[in-house]
Amino acid sequence: MSDVKITIIDREGEAHVIDAPTDMNMNLMEVIRSYELAPEGTIGICGGMAMCASCQCYMLNYQHMLPEMSYEEEDMLDQAFHVEDNSRLSCQIPITDELEGLEIRIAPTTE
Amino acid sequence: MLIIGAGPTGLFAVFEAGLLKMKCHLIDALPQPGGQCSEIYPKKPIYDIPGFPEVLAGDLVDNLMEQIKPFEPGFTLGERAETIDKQEDGSFIVTTSRGTKHHAPVVVIAGGLGSFEPRKPPIPSIKDYEDKGVAYIIRDPEVYRDRKVVIAGGGDSALDWSIFLADVASEVSLVHRRKDFRGALDSVEKVEELSKIGKINLITDAEVVDLQGEDELSAVVIRHKDEARGEEIKEVDDFIPLFGLSPKLGPIGDWGLEIEKNAIKVDNTYDYQTNIPGVYAIGDVNTYKGKLKLILCGFHEAAIMCQSAYQRINPDKKYVMKYTTVSGVSGFDGSKKEAKREVVKSIN
């Protein structure tokens, strides 16, 4: 079992340094939910299929190390709001050893 | 029973109710049954339905429809449940977005993530202009005849409506934050062509960031990515943001139900009833300690809910749960399924 340390800035601006397991087949959205860093029902609404943009996050570092965006993710971000150049859907980012030290900020919710 | 939501949980509730001789009617905002399974991921395989090592979401819905066929459920599709009114006798009248009224002794909310509604861009004053120049859905394109229209978005609906309204409106502008469009290729090409001949005013790498107007909308503020171009104010009659759909709990949230974490709180120690007696909530729409949003949990909740609903509708009747292996399945259509009782061999 191994964990990586990830810094997650929640929607209120508070930073949380958390341990994310690399061996549980989890993605970043699920890690945020597991630590309850965003209220249920405001993140991961579609369950992690890149079919809503409720798990949008800004990658504050490592942006170029992350897996490439799929067509679905790009498509969804295209319809999302508050999108920046470093926006990603956190459900599309699996937790791996390489993410040790990753820093992200959760994007605001929209109606 | 009136079931709001025709996803897998709502559909299976028809089966469990049918075993108890209760007839069901389902309402769903989507035009077809199946909920998310049909709307979002019909071709995705599901691996955690007990007894099915792998089943496509769309096939699961087809199988459920087949399974409940003997119980002849009624469907009201393409209508959203709007209001609920409790009657003196304890029954309920639920009215849909089209004004259809449904009267039932028990209401079961199996609404999943909620109904799918247009996504609204985060423009501060947008609410003030809704129906005063801002619309998220085009119901009647004739409304836009000879008017100046700005459409925002980069998907199929933004492209298709820009093309359609190019012949209706006096001026059509399509604002998209990127140069890439993700719609069908022929739609993108058509927009490009119409833009070249000046029938669509294509504004890319830009976003509508503010709205102006005394009472009605009179202008939109467009911010260009290119800082040198900055912001421009464009006079318009109508602004139509088309950014797809997202699920919302919607009007059910105003029914006086106890809501927690965007879901309806239920009594999971007994029957998945809400704080309004006679109104149950099952499947992804409910919450309780330890809740898992899984189809299989929705099925379980449906079975338990039906026992309680039966007792509510028939308070004086005694009943015990029966196994389909023992009693078979007797449909309201007169069909009867049961295990064959064969004599293999007689010993004389």
* CB-based contact A18:A92 (threshold 8 Å): no
* CB-based contact B36:B44 (threshold 8 Å): no
Residues from chain B that touch A40, judged by Cβ atoms under 8 A, are 261-263, 287
Per-residue pLDDT of B294-340, as tens digits, reads 999 999 999 999 999 999 999 999 888 889 998 899 999 999 998 88
pLDDT score for A111:
64
Q: Do A39 and B247 touch (CB under 8 A)?
A: no
Q: Do B262 and A41 touch (CB under 8 A)?
A: yes
Shortest CA gap B182–chain A (Å): 6
Higher pLDDT, A47 or B197: B197
Q: In chain B, where does DSSP find H-type helix?
A: 8-19, 36-39, 57-68, 156-165, 185-196, 295-313, 324-327
What does the alpha-carbon distance between residue A34 and residue B36 come to, in Å, rounded to a whole number? 23
CB contacts under 8 A, B 131-160 vs A, are: 153-155
Higher pLDDT, A93 or A71: A93
- Of the candidates A51, A81, A110, the beta carbon closest to that of B40 is on A51
Domains located in chain A, CATH noted? 3-106 (3.10.20.30)
For the cut 70, the answer to whether the pLDDT of residue A1 exceeds it is no
Residues of chain B with pLDDT under 50: none
Residue of B nearest to A72 (CA): B182
pLDDT score for A33:
94
Q: Is A69 on the interface with B (CB under 8 A)?
A: no
Q: Do B262 and A52 touch (CB under 8 A)?
A: no
Shortest CA gap A90–chain B (Å): 18
What does the alpha-carbon distance between residue B335 and residue B329 come to, in Å, rounded to a whole number? 8
Q: Do A110 and B122 touch (CB under 8 A)?
A: yes
Domains located in chain B, CATH noted? 2-116+246-337 (3.50.50.60), 126-243 (3.50.50.60)
> Which among B87, B88, B120 has a CA at the least distance from the CA of B102?
B87
Residues from chain B that touch A83, judged by Cβ atoms under 8 A, are 177
Shortest CA gap B151–chain A (Å): 13
Residue B305, both tokens: 């809910």
Mutation site, B116, B246, B289, B294, interface A, largest A CB count within 10 A: B246
Q: Is A40 exposed, middle or buried (0-12, 13-18, 19+ CB in 10 A)?
A: middle
What torsion do the CA atoms of B304, B310, B312, B313 make, to the nearest 10 degrees?
A: 150
pLDDT band at A88 (very low <50, low <70, confident <90, very high): very high
Q: Is B182 on the interface with A (CB under 8 A)?
A: yes
- Of the candidates B44, B155, B261, the beta carbon closest to that of A41 is on B261
Neighbours of B187 (CB within 10 A): 18
Residue B123, both tokens: 């423009």
Global pTM reads 0.81
**DSSP for residue A4:** E
Contacts of B224 (CB under 8 A, 6+ apart): B205, B206, B230, B231, B232
Q: Do A111 and B119 touch (CB under 8 A)?
A: yes
CB contacts under 8 A, A 29-48 vs B, are: 39-42, 45-47
B27 sits in the region (left: phi over 0; alpha: psi -120 to 50; else beta) called beta
What does the alpha-carbon distance between residue B160 and residue B203 come to, in Å, rounded to a whole number? 16
Higher pLDDT, B274 or A109: B274
